[in-house]
Structure 1
Amino acid sequence: MTSIQGEGRRTRVAILGCTGSIGTQALDVCRQHADKLQVVALSAHSRTSDLVRYAREFKVSYVGVTDESHTDDPVLQELPQGCELVSGPHAAVELARMDACDVVLVAIVGAAGLEASHAVLSGDRRLALANKESLVVGGDLLMPLAAPGQLLPVDSEHGAIFQCLTGEDPREAHCIWLTCSGGPFFGRTAKELECVTRHDALAHPTWNMGAKITIDSATLMNKGLERIEAMHLFGMGLDRINVLIQRESKIHSMVEFVDGSVIAHLGASDMRIPIQYAFTYPERWDTPAPRVDFRKLGKLSFDAPDMEAFRCLKLAEIAGELRGTMPCVLNAANEVAVDAFLHDRLGFNGIAAVVQTCMDAHDRCDVVSLEQLRDVDAWARERAERAICLMA
């Protein structure tokens, strides 16, 4: 696929989830390349003051508010003249269907991003995917819709793998080395993890992310979800997608080929780099981030993850091997459990316990529709809440 930048005009960008960590970093990329990128649409869930501020700064034509309790916030009266407001639970999906943009960044957190991703791929717009749950839950539905070059992963790891495979024959790949920092609790035992607090868990060693993803990184569920995502993106079985602890977070992932050669993607721990590449592929523009001086890096260290202490990683492996609706249950139960942990209703190790309870209670089915996945998601959330109440 060639560059999506039209002849003589800027690439038109929609950012769904513009007030979160990925969304705000995407806006920074758009600021730095204002001569090439035009922000035309923005969505937020509830942070309407930030949404209005960004809408005025970038003079956007469309905004969406998905939280119905915030659709009448007075600040929305300050939207720029001519800006159209779309509100309600499906506002982000409506923006994703618009023909007024060339690339849609789906940076919505959680399973809510699935329908927006589906809407983008159902048209001829590029999907810059920063919502891993879209593929974890609905990869069987989304991947058949994606034309070559239409779906660009924004996760630093999947963006790295995508680049390592560019120009290569995927059939000659032996395995993927999916890297992670190990989170704030690297090296701790399951017993030692019993007493950690949400404040401990939110202290990620290298990446600046939102609260939910930061907790997922602490439990290693994030890496489990990314293995399932990589399985769909790159057509490779989980047994060939290996998790590797890389504490310095400078190697963002590697691909090992059948002849023993390994291609690694290295660079700064800055999400603006993969965000920008998803906007510009196949072109490369000036970096939005500080460069790494490898002469001063000192070392690169590697280790294996502990699936006994970090049970979420093992549960994600089980769900990924079973496929069908089981990853949907894994993801929904995890979202509920993480929220309970963040509100001091559940202990750290309780997150995995809740997820396992829901998976054990679920009868796996093949994925057939978005409606089916909505029903499974709702069932898993209700089952997770019951499990949390019983653990209290």
Structure 2
Amino acid sequence: MIKRLSILGSTGSIGTSALDVVMLHPDLFDVRVLAAATNIDLLARQIRVFKPETVVVLDEIHAARLADLLAGGPVPEILFGDSGYARGANHEKVDLVLLAMVGAAGLLPAIAAIEARKEVALANKETLVMAGDLVMGLARKNKVSILPVDSEHSAIFQCLAGNQARDLKKIFLTASGGPFLHTPQKEFSAIKPEHALSHPTWSMGHKISIDSATLMNKGLEIIEAVHLFDLSIDQVEVIVHPQSIVHSMVGFNDGSVMAQMGVPDMRTAIALAFSWPHRLTLDLDFPDFTALGGLVFERPDSSRFPSIGFAVEACRQRGTLPAVMNAANEIAVQAFLTARIDFSGIFTMVEKTMALHQRVDDPTLSDILEADKWARQTALALI
């Protein structure tokens, strides 16, 4: 049976990889919805290939430009804005929604998909960082499966398959360490955006590349894992693994540890989320273990990279603090990319914004969105 897909974030690294998977298995998938923000040229090319019924863009200006690019050929329904993304998520002719939008923008479409009882392939970790309790509660209420697409969470998901949840003792989230793993802290002020965007093992978009360089990406993944797998924060440990061959590990009560390994390619996790419990054939090789010689693991340096500590504290306090941390980080990353702050300034802005926040416990969606707005305004003021 063909699975009908909505791909929200189709022009990003996850979205384009997902469409590669569809191209490899056109007999299994039908793309009904594509959504992007402003990369209209690439979206137009994707539309010509995959012929979706509905597409979504950031605003009316980009919608008009897309319509002009598609003139002379079939033009799908073109929507824009928050209502458009919600429509892309709860589309009646869609079975599975891939949430690959960047940042806080993924939260409302995630809720729309869950409330419409669509199967969700989650690549937008910010959704669970901002509103994990609320989102997972909605998923349970609506009996919606949330299948992880982050390589680390997919690895944990695979290691847990066939095991009892009560036997899980600990998870080990692996981190590449980014491009500045061994860079002295005194040299951080000289780091330029182009240096931070050059990841040693993964090909990713700008935001996630900077998050990887600061290890904030791993901080966000800690919070995501706590919600996805119903863990306490003390059951999660981050280990730096520069080769990115071991995608994560699970430790059980009997002392055994299971690891999921593979070459660093997001198509593996995407294909699994699309086809679970089956595995699709992909044009990927196995790691060359003999060439590796050995696998390297080390502890993250919390003094040079305090992002993991920020995330652990936000996860312990819960409430609106994780949403504030996430929003402040998004503003800080953008400020770094536009040369308004230096690399170390990202840590400073996040820490100061979190310290200024008056946490709301057991927040509603409105509380979370208000905290997100407050954090953005506060972080901008700090610049």
TM above 0.5, one fold? yes
User: Would you say the 8 A contact 1:48–1:76 is kept in 2?
Assistant: no
Letter in 2 for 1:91: G
What does residue 28 of structure 1 align with? 20
Q: Does 1:195 align with 2:190?
A: yes
User: Residue 349 of structure 1: SS of its match in structure 2?
Assistant: helix
Q: Could you tell me the TM-score, scaled by structure 2's length?
A: 0.96
Say if 1:254 and 1:264, in contact at 8 Å, map to a contact too: yes
Letter in 2 for 1:167: G
Structure 2 match to 1:325: 320
> What residue is the counterpart of 2:65 in the other structure?
73
1:172-202 alpha-carbon deviations (Å, 9 max, x no partner): 1110000011111112333232221111111
Matched, 1:131 2:156: no
Partner of 1:91: 84
The question of 1:144 aligning with 2:137 is answered yes
CA gap 1:367/1:49 in 2 versus in 1, 3 angstroms: farther
> Residues of 2 paired with 1:181 and 1:361: CA distance?
31
User: Which residue identity does 2:221 align to in structure 1?
Assistant: E
- Is residue 169 from structure 1 mapped to residue 169 from structure 2 by the alignment? no
Give the equivalent residue in structure 2 for 1:41: 33
Deviation at 1:134, TM superposition (A): 0.2
Shift of 1:203: 1.1
State the partner residue of 1:214: 209
Deviation string for 1:335-371 (max 9, x for gaps)? 0000000000110000010011111110111243222
What CA distance in whole angstroms lies between the structure 1 residues aligned with 2:374 and 2:17? 34
Indicate the larger mover: 66-75 or 232-241.
66-75
Distance in 1, matches of 2:197 and 2:333, equals: 12
Q: Does structure 1 conserve the Cα–Cα contact (< 8 Å) formed by 2:67 and 2:75?
A: no
Counterpart in the other structure of 1:3 = none
C-alpha change, 1:54 and 1:286, in structure 2 (3 Å) is: same
Counterparts of 2:154 and 2:291, CA distance in 1? 25
> Partners in 1 of 2:362 and 2:74 — Cα distance?
44
One-letter amino acid matched to 2:104: A
Q: Residue 242 of structure 1 aligns to which amino acid in structure 2?
A: E
Query: Does 2:86 correspond to 1:104?
Result: no
| d(CA) in 1 for partners of 2:326, 2:61 | 25
Structure 2 unmatched runs, 5+: none
Q: Distance between the aligned counterparts of 1:288 and 1:135, measured in 2?
A: 31
Please give the per-residue CA displacement for 1:181-230, whole angstroms capped at 9, x wherever unaligned.
11111123332322211111111110000011000000000000000000
Number of residue pairs the alignment of both structures matches = 380
2:173 maps to 178
The CA deviation at 1:76 is 4.2
State how far apart, in whole Å, the 1-side matches of 2:362 and 2:190 are.
38
* 1:250 to 2:242 alignment: no
1:178-327 superposed matches below 5 A? 178-327=173-322
TM-score, structure 1 length as denominator? 0.94
Shift of 1:120: 1.1
Structure 1 residue 323 displacement after superposition:
0.8
Over the aligned positions, Cα root-mean-square deviation in angstroms equals: 1.4
Q: Structure 2 CA distance, aligned partners of 1:366 and 1:90?
A: 28
2: CA distance, partners of 1:153 / 1:281: 11
Q: 1:190 to 1:36 in 2, by over 3 A?
A: same
- Aligned partners of 2:324 and 2:353 also within 8 Å: yes
2 CA distance for matches of 1:243 and 1:36? 36
Question: What is the identity percentage for the equivalent residue pairs of Structure 1 and Structure 2?
Answer: 46
Instruction: Specify the SS of the correspondent of 1:381.
Output: helix
Q: 1:114 aligns with which of 107, 119, 133?
A: 107
Report the more deviating stretch, 192-201 or 230-239.
192-201
Cα distance, 1:285 vs. partner?
1.2
- Structure 1 residue 75 displacement after superposition: 4.8
Mapped partners of 1:195, 1:227: distance in 2: 29
Greater shift, 315-324 or 109-118, is seen at 315-324
